[in-house]
Chain A
Amino acid sequence: MARRLTHRPRIVTITGKRAETPLVSTLRWRDATKARPGQYVMVWVPGVDEVPMSLCDIGGVKGIAVHAKGEATSALARLRAGDRIGIRGPYGHGFRHKPGKCLVVAGGTGIACLAPLVEKLARRWPRPSVVVGARTRSELLFVERMRRTGAEVVVTTDDGTAGRKGLATDAAYELLNRNRYSQVCSCGPEAMMRVVASLAQCQSAPVQLSLERYMKCGIGICDSCAMGGLHICVEGPVMDSRRVAGLPDFGAFRRDACGRKERM
C-alpha cells in the first residue's frame, strides 16, 4: 500500500446534502481525519476547481456550508448525495480556546466555521455568548443549532425581519458592556471583524479572527493568499487580531487569481 500523501486529494462520497437557507446548503461526508474548529479543507470538484472551505462539522462526519457565489461554489451547490469530491487537509490554524467566557460574533456565513467552536465551548462553564448576524431573516444560518448548544444566542438582522434589528457589532457592543469575556472569536465580513476587534480592546480580551483570501496551493508556497507577508492558508485562517489589524490589506484589499490587488 502506498504511503498516504498529505497534500493529495482523497476522494470521498457525499453522504448528505441539506438546504440550510435559500442561498446556503451543507454537504457532508464521512472522514476520520482529526480537525479543530476553524480549520479548512481544500475541496476539489473534479473537472471544475479546487477551493478552500471552512469545516462546519469536524467530527467523524465532516461538513461544509456552501454559498453559491462563483463557478466552484455553484458547482459544489449542484452536487448531491452519492457524488464524489476530493479533500485535502484539514489545513491551517483553527481557534485556540482558552478557559473563561467567550464571545463569538458571526456575520453571514461566518457562523459556519464558528459553529464547531461554540459546540465545544458550550460543553463547559461559563457558557459562551454567540451573536448570529445576517442581512435578513432568510439568510440566518445555524441559529437553531447554536440554540441547542445551550449558549446565549443573540440574533440580529440588518432589516429587523428576525431577532434584533441592527448589526452584529451592535449586539457585540452591548454584550461586551454587560459581561466580562476572556476571549472573542469572530468570522464574517472584514469590516465587521475590524469593529469587533476594536470593541474588544476595552476589555483587553484577545481576539481571534477567521480570514478568507483567494487560495491556490493551500500549503504556504504559492503566495496567492498572502497578506502583508503572511499566508492565510498556513498562518491563518484564524489569526490574532493584533497580528492582522496593522496589515494595510485587512478590511481593504484582497487579490484575484492574477495576484492583482482589488478593493473589497
Chain B
Amino acid sequence: MADLTVDVAGLRLENPFILASGVWGETGATLARALRAGAAAVVTKSVGLRPRPGYPNPTIVEVPSGLINSMGLPNPGIEEYGAEMEEALRPGRPVIGSIFGATAGEFAALARRMERWGVSALELNLSCPHAKGLGAQLGQDPGTTKRITAAVKAAVDIPVFVKLTPTVASIAAIGRAAAAGGADALVAINTLKAMAIDLDLCIPVLGHGTGGYSGPGIKPVGVACVYELFKAVRVPLIGAGGVSTGEDAAEYLMAGATALEVGTLVLRKRDRTFRQLSRELARFLASRGHRSARSLTGRAHRGD
C-alpha cells in the first residue's frame, strides 16, 4: 500500500486530505465528526473578533459544476468559539484555526487566541471573495498580505498558513508577498467570486448577490494557481478547489501541492468523503507505481 502520509510545515498528517474552512466548521462536534471520518486535519470556520450573523439567505445555490455560497463569514466570535475548539480537539488530531479580520492587529489578536485554544496551525483568510474590507479585499494587495502575515508570525509560535484568492492578476506575486511575510505554507485557492441569476424573477439568487464558486468547476483554476505558486515560492502548498476524486488530488500534487483541502465534496459524500479520497489516491499511486503521495509533489515541473 502506497504511503499517504505527508508533512506540511512540520504538521504530520496521516493522509493529504484536510477539511476546508467553511464546511462543517461552525461547531466543534461536527469538526470532530470529520476527523473521525478520516480527515487528517480540519480547518475551522473563519472566526473573527465579534459575533457576525453573515448575509441573508439564500446563501447557497447550485450551478452545473459546483456551488456558489455567500455565507458572509458568520461566526460566534473568538471568545465563544473556545467551547467549540474543546470538542474539535477531542479526537486528538490537528485542528487548524481559520481567522479573518480587517487589520493586522485584529489578525494578531485572533491568532494569539486560537493558539491558546490549542490549534496546531493557523490559516489566514485573505481570500473570502464577498466580504467588504475583509478576505480577498486584503489578500489582493501584496503589501497588505505581507504585513498581516508578518504580524501574525510575530504573535504566535505555531505554523501560519495563508489562504489565497485566485481573483488576482498574479497569484505568484501574492504568494511571494505571503512567503516574504513568513508564511509557513500557502493554501490555494479560495472560491471564485461568482453570481447566479434567477431567470423567472430576474434577480440574483443569493441574498448578497455575489458569492464564492466552489466545486469541480474550479479545479483547473486551482491546479494552475498551485502550479504557478510552486514555481514562485519555496514554502509548501496546500491545494484546494474542486477535489472530488483521488485522481484530482494526484493532479494537485503533481502541480506542486503537498496536501489538499476538501469542502464541496462533503455535500455529496458526507462521512465517506475522506476515506474514499484516501482509498482512491492509494489506488492511483499503486496503479502507476508511485511509492508515496509525497513523491508526487511537483512532478509536473520536471521538464522545466
Residues of A within 8 A of B22 (CB): 222
Partner of B62, one of A8, A50, A220, A255: A8
Q: Which of A212-229 contact B (CB under 8 A)?
A: 216-224, 226, 228-229
Q: Assuming A8-B196, A256-B53, is B74 touching A224 (CB within 8 A)?
A: yes
Q: Using a Cβ–Cβ cut-off of 8 Å, how many residues does chain A contribute to the interface with B?
A: 40
In the assembled complex, B77 has its CB within 8 A of some CB on chain A = yes
Give the bracket for the number of chain B residues in contact with chain A: 35 or more
Residues of B within 8 A of A259 (CB): 26-27, 45, 74-76, 80
Residues of B within 8 A of A218 (CB): 60
In the assembled complex, A84 has its CB within 8 A of some CB on chain B = yes
Minimal beta-carbon separation of A190 from chain B (angstroms):
18
Are A7 and B67 interface neighbours, CB within 8 A? yes
Partner of A86, one of B54, B69, B198: B198
Residues of A within 8 A of B83 (CB): 261
Minimal beta-carbon separation of B11 from chain A (angstroms):
23
Q: Which of A45-80 contact B (CB under 8 A)?
A: 46-51, 72
Q: Mark B56-87, 1 if CB is under 8 A from A, else 0.
A: 11111111100101010011110010010000
Residues of B within 8 A of A206 (CB): none
Minimal beta-carbon separation of B205 from chain A (angstroms):
6
Are A258 and B30 interface neighbours, CB within 8 A? no
Are A258 and B201 interface neighbours, CB within 8 A? no
Are B196 and A223 interface neighbours, CB within 8 A? no
B270 — nearest CB in chain A belongs to which residue? A220
In the assembled complex, B217 has its CB within 8 A of some CB on chain A = no
Partner of A216, one of B32, B61, B71, B264: B71
Q: Mark B254-272, 1 if CB is under 8 A from A, else 0.
A: 0000000001101100100
Dominant secondary structure at the B interface: loop
Are B54 and A84 interface neighbours, CB within 8 A? no
Are B74 and A258 interface neighbours, CB within 8 A? yes
A260 and B52 CA atoms in complex are apart in Å by 10
Residues of A within 8 A of B203 (CB): 46-47
Minimal beta-carbon separation of B208 from chain A (angstroms):
12
Q: Which of A5-39 contact B (CB under 8 A)?
A: 5-9, 11
In the assembled complex, A181 has its CB within 8 A of some CB on chain B = no
Residues of A within 8 A of B51 (CB): 258, 260
In the assembled complex, B224 has its CB within 8 A of some CB on chain A = no
In the assembled complex, A44 has its CB within 8 A of some CB on chain B = yes
Are B57 and A84 interface neighbours, CB within 8 A? no
Residues of B within 8 A of A5 (CB): 62-64
Are A222 and B62 interface neighbours, CB within 8 A? no
Q: Mark B28-66, 1 if CB is under 8 A from A, else 0.
A: 011011000000000001000001111011111111100
Q: Please list 23 pairs of residues, one from A and one from B, whose beta carbons are closer than 8 Å in the complex, sorted by A's number.
A: A5-B62, A5-B64, A6-B62, A7-B60, A8-B62, A9-B61, A44-B57, A47-B203, A217-B59, A220-B267, A220-B270, A221-B24, A221-B266, A223-B23, A223-B30, A224-B26, A229-B32, A258-B54, A258-B76, A259-B27, A259-B76, A260-B76, A260-B77
